[in-house]
């Protein structure tokens, strides 16, 4: 009940144009497109890119001069400085109006390096977003193949139920004419019951796989969700290639590698930013202002503002002499961060290398298993056909028939599993080669 209410609440909270169309089975492309638009991890990375872009804009705008206005009101009691620049006794107030601007002319090249670093950070964040999209593509393809596998197993179990049902009917007829015993019929009925249990379990597994994909898609409601069922058989002429060649292709395009390379390049600018503290800084300052003194009420407010109007422009040079080794330590930390990022790049490269080798080994093992399973399934089918003919002719026992049937069912199940594994692993290798993931 709680799950139903939660699903209904999520559905009602979604805009009408973002509700999924579950009136037809979804293809792998439709599942991927929906996830790329609605998956929370992808959305979080998109927001991170937007935030990093704001930081980039902030860095680029730091070249511009600032402009600030100020209004002040000061109350003086007793002896204080008056409008004629002499000290007088009495209570008075002073109203001040000013407008000031400052602009950095030179800061040891810190600003241009901050801008370059911000742009690199934006590029790295964009690659992180693409990495999140790649991860969700792979996860969805894997879940999609799992559904295809469970549906194929469900078909195998349904065929077994059909075979056992026919045998029960056949033995019932044979027992009526004295050609079969009650024990044989009971044994066959037990086999039929077990086949039905296997079918129910296969149906539950198929529904569970569909639910896993629906949850991975973050669907507000998965009631009625289904997928387009395709043939999971992989192409017969597929070439696995060599893992080193695949790695050389993948390392040029993988977002995780690009992001690490960009961040390593950014550490060079971080070091230059830290070194800018050794250099003097020069800034331009300009402004204007005026004051009104209540101690001269007869002069009038606007007259005083005009009479006291002043302007200024100047340069400010700041020369660092001793900063308690702060700049030196900042440079050291920046260099340490550079080495850390270099290690992280190597880790990313090694991780990609291991992933590709593992995928290649898995694909090679799946290919060998698929080839062997094809031969085993063909042999099991021939054996079952022969035993079935002998059994119908009375030359084989029910036990022999059941054993041949079970071997055929296991061989077909193994073939389906090997086929799905081979299909996914070869698709994964293609993904590493060219970035495309299709089944």
pLDDT digits (tens, 9 = 90+) for 328-381: 999 999 999 999 999 999 999 999 999 999 999 999 998 899 889 989 999 999
Average pLDDT over residues 399-403: 82
Average pLDDT over residues 91-118: 91
Q: Using the predicted structure, report yes or no on whether residue 13 has a pLDDT greater than 70.
A: no
Cβ burial, residue 11 (10 Å; 0-12/13-18/19+): middle
In sequence order, the 6+-apart residues with CB closer than 8 A to the CB of 303 are none
CA 327 to centroid of chain Cα atoms: 38
Edge-to-edge strand list for the sheet holding 281-293: 66-76, 92-106, 281-293, 310-318
Q: Using the predicted structure, report yes or no on whether residue 388 has a pLDDT greater than 50.
A: yes
Q: Please tell me the predicted confidence (pLDDT) of residue 53.
A: 97
Mean pLDDT of the chain: 87
Q: Please tell me the predicted confidence (pLDDT) of residue 247.
A: 93
Q: Please tell me the predicted confidence (pLDDT) of residue 6.
A: 43
Q: Please tell me the predicted confidence (pLDDT) of residue 18.
A: 63
* Residue 364 structure tokens: 């090679």
CA 66 to centroid of chain Cα atoms: 39
Q: Please tell me the predicted confidence (pLDDT) of residue 357.
A: 94
* Residue 323 structure tokens: 């900063």
Average pLDDT over residues 257-261: 96
pLDDT confidence bin for 174, thresholds 50/70/90: confident
pLDDT confidence bin for 136, thresholds 50/70/90: very high
Q: Please tell me the predicted confidence (pLDDT) of residue 4.
A: 39
Between 183 and 338, residue with greater pLDDT: 338
* Residue 381 structure tokens: 């089918």
pLDDT confidence bin for 291, thresholds 50/70/90: confident
Query: Of 21-30, 145-154, 272-281, which has the strongest mean pLDDT?
Result: 272-281
């Amino acid at each position: 009940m709680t799950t139903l209410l939660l699903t209904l609440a999520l559905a009602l909270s979604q805009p009408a144009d973002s509700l999924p169309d579950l009136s037809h089975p979804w293809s792998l492309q439709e599942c991927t497109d929906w996830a790329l638009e609605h998956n929370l991890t992808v959305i979080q990375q998109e927001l991170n890119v937007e935030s990093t872009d704001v930081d980039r804009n902030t860095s680029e705008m730091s070249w511009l001069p600032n402009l600030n206005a100020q209004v002040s009101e000061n109350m003086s009691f007793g002896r204080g400085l008056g409008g004629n620049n002499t000290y007088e006794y009495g209570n008075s107030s002073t109203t001040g109006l000013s407008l000031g601007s400052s602009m950095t002319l030179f800061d040891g090249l810190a600003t241009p390096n901050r801008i370059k670093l911000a742009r690199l950070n934006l590029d790295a964040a964009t690659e992180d977003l693409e990495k999140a999209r790649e991860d969700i593509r792979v996860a969805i393809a894997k879940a999609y193949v799992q559904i295809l596998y469970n549906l194929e197993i469900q078909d195998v179990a349904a065929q077994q139920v059909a075979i056992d049902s026919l045998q029960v009917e056949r033995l019932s007829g044979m027992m009526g004419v004295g050609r079969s015993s009650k024990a044989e019929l009971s044994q066959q009925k037990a086999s039929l019951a077990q086949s039905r249990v296997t079918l129910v379990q296969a149906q539950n597994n198929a529904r569970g796989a569909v639910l896993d994909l629906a949850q991975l898609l973050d669907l507000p409601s998965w009631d009625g969700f289904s997928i387009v069922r395709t043939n999971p058989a992989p192409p017969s002429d597929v070439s696995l290639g060599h893992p080193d060649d695949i790695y050389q292709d993948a390392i040029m395009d993988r977002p995780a590698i690009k992001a690490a390379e960009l961040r390593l390049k950014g550490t060079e600018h971080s070091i230059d930013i830290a070194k800018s503290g050794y250099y003097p800084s020069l800034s331009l300052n300009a402004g204007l202002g005026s004051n009104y003194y209540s101690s001269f009420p007869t002069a009038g407010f606007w007259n005083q503002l005009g009479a006291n109007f002043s302007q200024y422009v100047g340069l400010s040079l700041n020369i660092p002499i001793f900063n308690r080794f702060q700049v030196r330590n900042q440079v050291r930390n920046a260099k340490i961060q550079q080495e850390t990022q270099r290690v992280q790049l190597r880790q990313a490269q090694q991780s990609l290398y291991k992933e590709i080798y593992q995928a290649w080994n898995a694909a090679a093992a799946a290919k060998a298993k698929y080839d062997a399973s094809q031969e085993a399934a063909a042999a099991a089918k021939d054996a079952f056909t022969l035993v079935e003919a002998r059994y119908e002719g009375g030359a084989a026992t029910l036990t022999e028939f059941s054993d041949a049937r079970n071997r055929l069912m296991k061989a077909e199940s193994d073939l389906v599993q090997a086929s799905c594994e081979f299909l996914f692993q070869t698709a994964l290798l293609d993904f590493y080669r060219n970035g495309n993931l299709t089944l």
